Amino acid sequence: MRVHHHPDCATLMAYASGTLSEALTMVVACHVAWCPQCQRELRCHEETGGAIIDRMEAVPVKPGCLDAVLQRIDAECREARARDCAPELAGEAHRMGLPRPLCRLLGRSLDQLAWRRIAPGVAVYRINLARGARGRLMLMRIASGKALPRHGHSAGEMTMVLRGAYRDEVGRFAMGDIADLGHDIEHKPVTDSGADCICLIGSERPWRLRGLLRLVQPILRL
């Protein structure tokens, strides 16, 4: 896969430091799973985090801390130790054509989801995040040859293409590409492949359904 659009480096740094909201973290994690370039960049940001741990002033732990951990080691069954489901999940994610983090979250392929049609050619699926997680996550499926009306984005929104492609003023976004646009860009996306375009959309703020309805309203009138 050739990825052309990557998250802003400040976004990757926020991801590495753990300060990005869970919804955006998910979108970035999905991109990173498919993008070797960002895997390397991210590693570099995480090295910064590691170097910062080394710089931390040491605060003594309670006297019994090590013993407590050793006791928990004894208590846990041995098989828990080698627990590593990563390779299995990798295969499953590959079969489903999903990035690993999303595969873990959805547990099934994009075609098996209960899509909700909100306009001709447009369907959405809202992904539930853990209680206490920040932000909102949604999948949007736009039929081939469909254009969305021109619209802006609020700060803290990111879109990643999972399947198909779309084109807008910024360029062409295909599988794996991420649009980390910021709030000052308006665009008018048009699907740009023979197939449906499915995107993962993360938003930092609670989902503004009204905004979403406004987005599809012109389509409803078509």
Partner 1 sequence: MTDSIKQFQGNGRLQDEMAALVARIAKGDREAFATLFNYYAPRLKSFMLRRSADPETAEELVQETMLAVWNRASSFSPAKGSVTTWIYTIARNLRIDRLRRQPAQTFYDIDDFDEPSAEPSTEERLIQNESEAQIASAIEALPKEQLDVISLSYVDDLSQSEIAERLDVPLGTVKSRMRLAYQKLRDALGGQS
Give the shortest CB-170-to-Zn ion separation in angstroms.
15
Give dist(CA 137, CA 133) in Å, integer.
Answer: 11
Least distance (Å) from Zn ion to the CB of residue 37?
5
| Token pair in block for residue 149 | 């009306």
Of the candidate spans 3-11, 143-151, 159-167, 208-216, the one that interacts with Zn ion by CB under 5 A turns out to be 3-11
As measured in angstroms, the least distance from the Cβ of 74 to partner 1 is 10
- Does position 162 interact with Zn ion (CB under 5 A)? The reply is no
Indicate which of Zn ion, partner 1, none lies near residue 52 (CB less than 5 to 8 Å, by partner kind).
partner 1
- Amino acid identity of residue 39, one-letter, is Q
CB of 149 to Zn ion, least distance (A): 28
Helices 9-17/22-34 angle, 10° precision: 110
38 binds, among Zn ion, partner 1, none (CB under 5 to 8 A by kind): Zn ion
Which whole-number Å values give the CA distances from 124 to 4, 51, 137, 138, in the listed order? Answer: 25, 42, 11, 7
Please report whether residue 160 would count as binding Zn ion according to CB under 5 A. Answer: no
Following DSSP, what letter does each residue of 51-69 receive, concatenated? HHHHHSPP-PPPTTHHHHH
Which residue has tokens 């003594």? 60
User: Tokens 């993008």 identify what position?
Assistant: 35
Task: Please measure the distance between the N-terminal and C-terminal CA atoms of the chain and give it in whole angstroms.
Answer: 35
- Does 5 participate in binding Zn ion (rule CB under 5 A)? no
The residue among 109, 139, 131 whose CA lies nearest residue 212 is 139
Residue 128 binds which entry of Zn ion, partner 1, none, with Cβ cut-offs from 5 to 8 Å by kind?
none
Asked if residue 179 binds Zn ion (CB under 5 A), the reply is: no
Interface positions, 16-45, toward Zn ion (CB under 5 A): 35, 37-38
- Which residue's CB is nearer to Zn ion, number 123 or number 161? 161
DSSP H or E stretch at residue 174: strand 172-174
Q: Are 157 and 181 in contact (CB under 8 A)?
A: yes
Q: Which residues bind partner 1 (CB under 8 A)?
A: 8-10, 13-14, 17-22, 25-26, 29, 32-33, 37, 39-41, 43-62, 65-66, 68-70, 72-73, 76, 80-84, 86, 90, 100-101, 104-105, 129-133
Least separation in angstroms between CB 180 and partner 1: 11
Question: Is residue 129 at the binding interface for Zn ion, with CB under 5 A as the rule?
Answer: no
The CB-of-180 to Zn ion minimum distance in angstroms stands at 10
CA separation for the pair 110, 206 (Å, rounded): 23
